[in-house]
Structure 1
Amino acid sequence: MHKYYIYGLLFLLCDLGLCIATTDTDEDVGSLTTSIAGLERLLETEHFLIQNLDNYAKELEEKLLFIRRLIANLRNENDKARENTGYYISIPTNIFSLVRRLQQDWVYLDVFMKKIVGEEQTKILHDHWNNLPKADDLKEAINAMRRLQDTYDLKSDDLARGVINGKKYDTKLTALDCYTLGYELFNREDFVNAGYWLFTAIHVHQSDETIRLHRLSQIKIMELYAETLLKQGRHQDALTMLNVILELPATTPPNSELMQKKTDLELHIKIYNPTPEKHIVMEPNTHQRGCRGEFSNHTSKLYCVFNTTTTPYLKLAPLKMEIISLDPYIVVYHDVMSDEEITTLQNMSRPILRRATVYNEEMQKSKVVPGRTSKFAWFYDHHNNITKSINKRIIDMTGFNLTGSEMLQVMNYGLGGHYATHYDFFNVSMSSDIVAMQGDRKATVLFYMSDVDQGGATVFPNIKKAIFPKKGTAVMWYNLNNRYEGDYKTLHSGCPVLVGSKWVTNKWIRERNQIFRLPCYDK
Structure 2
Amino acid sequence: MSHRVWCCLSLWLCLWLVLSLLTIRARAEFYSSVDSMQDLGQLELELLNATRSYLKAQQQEINLFRKFVEQLKQEHDMAMDLTNLDDYLGHPLHAFRLIKRLVYDWDALHAPLVENKPREEYRQVVDNLSKEVGFPDLSELQGAVKGVARLQRVYNFTASDLADGIINGFFYDSAMDWRECYEIGVQLFDLGEHQRSLEWLQVAFNLLRTNPEMDGDDNSHFMADIREYAALANFELGNPKRAGRLLEKVLQAEPTHPAQLIRNYLDHREGSRIDQQKRDPSWFSNYTRLCQGRALPERGGGSPLRCFLDGKRHAYFTLAPLQVEQVHLEPDINVYHGILTLDQIDSIFVEADKLQMTRSGVAGAGGTRTVLDLRVSQQTWLDYESPIMKSIARLVAYISGFDMAGAEPMQVANYGVGGQYEPHPDYFEVNLPTDFKGDRISTSMFYLSDVEQGGYTVFTKLNVFLPPIKGALVMWHNLHRSLDVDPRTYHAGCPVIVGSKRIGNIWMHSGHQEFRRPCNLTSDS
TM interval, shorter chain, is 0.7 to 0.9
Secondary structure class of the residue paired with 1:459: strand
Structure 1 residue corresponding to 2:395, chosen from 393, 396, 414: 393
**CA contact under 8 A between 1:37 and 1:350: conserved in structure 2?**
no
Secondary structure class of the residue paired with 1:403: helix
Any residues of structure 2 matched to 1:46-57 within 5 Å, and which? 46-57=44-55
TM-score by length of 2: 0.81
> For 1:132 and 1:261, how far apart are their aligned partners in 2?
34
> For 2:397 and 2:516, how far apart are their aligned partners in 1?
11
1:412 has 2:448 as partner: no
**CA contact under 8 A between 1:409 and 1:506: conserved in structure 2?**
yes
Secondary structure class of the residue paired with 2:517: coil
Amino acid at match of 1:41: D
**CA contact under 8 A between 1:88 and 1:94: conserved in structure 2?**
no
1:124 has 2:128 as partner: no
> For 1:107 and 1:508, how far apart are their aligned partners in 2?
72
Secondary structure class of the residue paired with 2:406: coil
Structure 2 residue corresponding to 1:355, chosen from 355, 359, 379: 359
TM-score by length of 1: 0.81
> For 1:421 and 1:263, how far apart are their aligned partners in 2?
44
Any residues of structure 2 matched to 1:362-441 within 5 Å, and which? 363-381=366-384, 383-428=385-430, 433-435=434-436, 438-441=437-440
> For 1:69 and 1:488, how far apart are their aligned partners in 2?
79
Secondary structure class of the residue paired with 1:118: helix
Amino acid at match of 2:326: I
Offset at residue 236 of structure 1 (A)? 4.1
1:264–1:462 distance in 2 versus 1, CA, 3 Å: closer
Offset at residue 154 of structure 1 (A)? 1.8
**CA contact under 8 A between 2:337 and 2:472: conserved in structure 1?**
yes
Amino acid at match of 2:438: G
1:500–1:298 distance in 2 versus 1, CA, 3 Å: farther
| Greater relative contact order (Cα < 8 A, sep 6+) | 1
Offset at residue 373 of structure 1 (A)? 1.9
> For 1:358 and 1:278, how far apart are their aligned partners in 2?
26
Q: Which residue of 1 aligns with 2:242?
A: 237
> For 2:401 and 2:322, how far apart are their aligned partners in 1?
13
1:519 has 2:523 as partner: no
> For 2:277 and 2:408, how far apart are their aligned partners in 1?
47
1:165 has 2:164 as partner: no
Amino acid at match of 1:242: L
> For 1:334 and 1:388, how far apart are their aligned partners in 2?
20
> For 1:108 and 1:449, how far apart are their aligned partners in 2?
61
Runs of 5+ unmatched residues, structure 1? 1-28
Q: Which residue of 2 aligns with 1:487?
A: 486
Q: Which residue of 2 aligns with 1:156?
A: 159
Aligned Cα RMSD in Å? 3.5
Secondary structure class of the residue paired with 1:44: helix
Offset at residue 95 of structure 1 (A)? 4.7
Offset at residue 344 of structure 1 (A)? 1.0
Amino acid at match of 1:79: D
Offset at residue 156 of structure 1 (A)? 1.7
Offset at residue 49 of structure 1 (A)? 1.1
Q: Which residue of 2 aligns with 1:100?
A: 99
Residue-by-residue CA offset, 1:213-244 (whole Å, 9 max, x unaligned): xxx94432332223322333334433443354
> For 1:347 and 1:208, how far apart are their aligned partners in 2?
48
1:146–1:262 distance in 2 versus 1, CA, 3 Å: closer
Q: Which residue of 2 aligns with 1:21?
A: none
1:45–1:208 distance in 2 versus 1, CA, 3 Å: farther
Secondary structure class of the residue paired with 1:327: coil
Residue-by-residue CA offset, 1:246-270 (whole Å, 9 max, x unaligned): 565xx4xx425446767999x99xx
> For 1:219 and 1:425, how far apart are their aligned partners in 2?
53
- Tell me which moved more, 415-424 or 505-514: 505-514
Any residues of structure 2 matched to 1:219-230 within 5 Å, and which? 219-230=224-235
- Tell me which moved more, 327-336 or 221-230: 221-230
Offset at residue 50 of structure 1 (A)? 1.2
Any residues of structure 2 matched to 1:441-480 within 5 Å, and which? 441-480=440-479
Could you tell me the percent identity over the aligned residues? 29
Offset at residue 115 of structure 1 (A)? 4.7
1:405–1:304 distance in 2 versus 1, CA, 3 Å: same
> For 1:324 and 1:146, how far apart are their aligned partners in 2?
31
Runs of 5+ unmatched residues, structure 2? 1-26
Secondary structure class of the residue paired with 1:378: strand
Any residues of structure 2 matched to 1:260-271 within 5 Å, and which? none
Residue-by-residue CA offset, 1:359-389 (whole Å, 9 max, x unaligned): 322x4433433322222222222x2222222
Amino acid at match of 1:35: S
Q: Which residue of 1 aligns with 2:188?
A: 185
> For 1:369 and 1:237, how far apart are their aligned partners in 2?
35
Offset at residue 147 of structure 1 (A)? 1.8
Any residues of structure 2 matched to 1:331-350 within 5 Å, and which? 331-350=334-353
Secondary structure class of the residue paired with 1:443: strand
